[in-house]
Structure 1
Amino acid sequence: MTHSNAKGPKVDVLLQSNWAAAGLVQDVRRGLGTQPRTLPPKWLYDDAGSRLFDQITRLPEYYPTECERAILRDAAADIAATSHATTVVELGSGTSDKTRLLLDAFSDTGRLERFVPVDVSEETLREAAAALAARYPNTSVEAVVGDFTLHLGHLTRYTPKLIAFLGGTIGNLYVEERGAFLGALADSMDAGDELLLGTDLVKDADRLITAYDDPGGVTEAFVKNSLHVLNRELDADFDVDAFSYVPFWDRRMQRMDLRLRAEMPQHVTIPGADLELDLASGEEIRVEISTKFTQERLHDELGAAGLEIERIWTDPSDSFAVTLARKRG
């Protein structure tokens, strides 16, 4: 069965126009108004933050992006041959750059009927969807402007499907959040549907710290950009230069912990969130975590959600993993 893209991709917009502003206020009140102080990492990715992250992925110290790309380059044909899916869904798709390796392999099988990229950025998604529709003229491209933490229920209409969640993004969720997310993801899947999950693996602490603390300071600028977002969007008055970037490896939790530390006492007003903060010298704001996995942890966390691992692919240095799991019947 084939589908023509003569009319271009379909785009469903599930997010309300004010979702970002309302969500930012809620997250700032909840995260900065209590101890320990935190900010969700999604607010790192405004236009400036997205450009900085793109630079990070090209740094020689930052291995995950190229390791995952190498795995997909080598394993895409095996993944497509193993999978029963006729629909590929990608969560947090962005430009779907690496995913084209996967889509090429699925397209070669002749079974790919539909690609469903899901992302919060409507502009990026529309551009990517148009390019993908042109690249895969016999595949229906049905883009969804949505938040994958809110709109998984939209995916139940597609089956048999493979849901791709790449880039190690699941590592940005705390363990309780991961459990809830994987459970909700499994609820959106029929028996036999599959998940393709990209995860960074536990490794030498020095290599991890170097990957998140590049000598050019790009990662530091990326993390500090979260305060620029608050200053711009909520009229806050953070003195960004009065914070230092503190990345460290939490061995017990097996995660990188990225924080900003106030180097002097600060009284901060955030009018847009109706919030005032008194930060002591040395007080920290956690901006992002990046959990690293072992294969045992993958089996345990996916299994708890009713997902059974079929195969795990790694790069030659065992730095990164791409895991194919199927929902149990």
Structure 2
Amino acid sequence: MNKTLQKNLDYKKFVVDSKLQYFKPHAGKIEKTFAEEISFSLNRKSKFISPKFFYDKKGSDLFETICTLPEYYPTRTEIQILKNLQNDLPSFIDESFRLVELGSGASVKTRLILDVFTKLQSNTEYFPIDISEILTESSEQLLQDYNSLHITGIIDTYEGGLEFLKNYDDKKNLILFLGSSFGNFSPVNGKNFLEKINSTMKSGDLFLIGLDLVKDSKILESAYNDSQGITAKFNLNVLSRINDELDADFDLNNFSHHSIYNKEDQRIEMYLKSLVNQSVIISKSNLSLNLEKNELIHTEYSHKYTLDQIKILLESVGFKIEHVWLDDQTHFSLTLVSKN
């Protein structure tokens, strides 16, 4: 690794064996960041919690369950698209590419891309970037299934992982950002994030992004408000995480999951609704929080796009569109771009 980079980054290196290593910011850094962000976001008139904090171990497990629900179309739709693009991908990559993934989670969809890489390459490098510890578990499972795989995991935010990747070496990267996670960004932050990815990429690098498309509002609303209540548990779990990690006293029985589709802004809006007038102490954020009955804490946006909007957005930040894959019902898209 670049010595200057290693010196400047507050990471600890863990070597599991010759095929698996990972880097993680020191625990104090993570806790401080979490405490500071919660203090800022809940101390505003319009309170919010960043969706990146959903994904502790329990939150990640709940999300994996959500992905299997009958109402939640994005995962199964994207998997079908990935199966279809397996035949096309070898015309874009070769032996010289490494696979990088933002938000790898349990790496279920990753396998469909790794299958392509391992057929093309005698040794395959995979760099998963995920804020959750699930990264280490999924990596160990992948190594059992792929003999030629070498994994360097980065347990950090996307931005932190991208900064880590920048100047790491000269190898070409295919960066994956699957699922509909990009939709969580506001339009301004989303554009900034795409610019960040573009600035990280070298000439020859590729970026494959999943984007959910505008469709019937009934399909969208049921996907984020499932009949089994798993999405509600996932949403409420972020309060449990704040209780556990920041020494807070949220009573989860005093909150409910609230999700709507805002047609004008083309987005699902997810909130935690306070069911009573209540006060909450978050000790490590030095915050005393007062909530009124029916007050909302915003936890997630999931923006939906038209194909024209996707083209305009990606080209506006300096990407060249190489290929777009869609499902038969045009519910979801995967777009491959290069640095223009």
Q: TM-score, normalised by structure 1?
A: 0.91
Q: Structure 2 unaligned segments of length 5 or more: list them.
A: 1-16
Question: What displacement does 1:299 show?
Answer: 1.3
Tell me whether 1:300 sits opposite 2:312 in the alignment: yes
CA distance in 2, matches of 1:245, 1:113: 42
Q: Which of 30, 35, 40 is the equivalent residue of 2:50?
A: 40
Alpha-carbon contact 1:234-1:270 (below 8 Å) kept = yes
Q: Which amino acid aligns with 2:249?
A: D
Tell me whether 1:109 sits opposite 2:120 in the alignment: yes
Moved more, 84-93 or 250-259: 84-93
Q: Which amino acid aligns with 2:113?
A: L
CA distance in 2, matches of 1:134, 1:47: 22
User: Residue in 1 aligned with 2:14?
Assistant: none
Alpha-carbon contact 1:9-1:143 (below 8 Å) kept = no
User: Residue in 1 aligned with 2:218?
Assistant: 206
1:215-269 CA distance string (max 9 Å, x none): 1111111111111222222222223212222101112221100011112211222
Q: Which amino acid aligns with 2:92?
A: T
Tell me whether 1:316 sits opposite 2:331 in the alignment: no
Q: Which of 69, 76, 79 is the equivalent residue of 1:66?
A: 76
Moved more, 110-119 or 230-239: 110-119
Q: Which amino acid aligns with 2:114?
A: L
User: Residue in 2 aligned with 1:88?
Assistant: 99
Q: Which amino acid aligns with 1:293?
A: Y
Alpha-carbon contact 2:184-2:303 (below 8 Å) kept = yes
Q: What aligned pairs does 1:13-24 form with structure 2 within 5 A after superposition?
A: 13-24=23-34
RMSD: 2.0
SS of alignment partner, residue 151 of structure 1: helix
Question: What displacement does 1:287 show?
Answer: 0.8
Q: Which of 129, 132, 155 is the equivalent residue of 2:165?
A: 155
Cα gap change, 1:293 to 1:174, in 2 (>3 Å): same
SS of alignment partner, residue 227 of structure 2: coil
Moved more, 201-210 or 246-255: 246-255
Q: Which amino acid aligns with 1:95?
A: A
SS of alignment partner, residue 167 of structure 1: coil
User: Residue in 2 aligned with 1:31?
Assistant: 41
Q: TM-score, normalised by structure 2?
A: 0.89
1:61-107 CA distance string (max 9 Å, x none): 00111111111111122123223561111111123221111111122
Identical residues among aligned pairs (%): 34
Q: Which of 141, 152, 157 is the equivalent residue of 1:131?
A: 141
Moved more, 263-272 or 190-199: 263-272
Cα gap change, 1:203 to 1:48, in 2 (>3 Å): same
User: Residue in 1 aligned with 2:61?
Assistant: 51
CA distance in 2, matches of 1:287, 1:246: 10
Q: Structure 1 unaligned segments of length 5 or more: list them.
A: 1-6
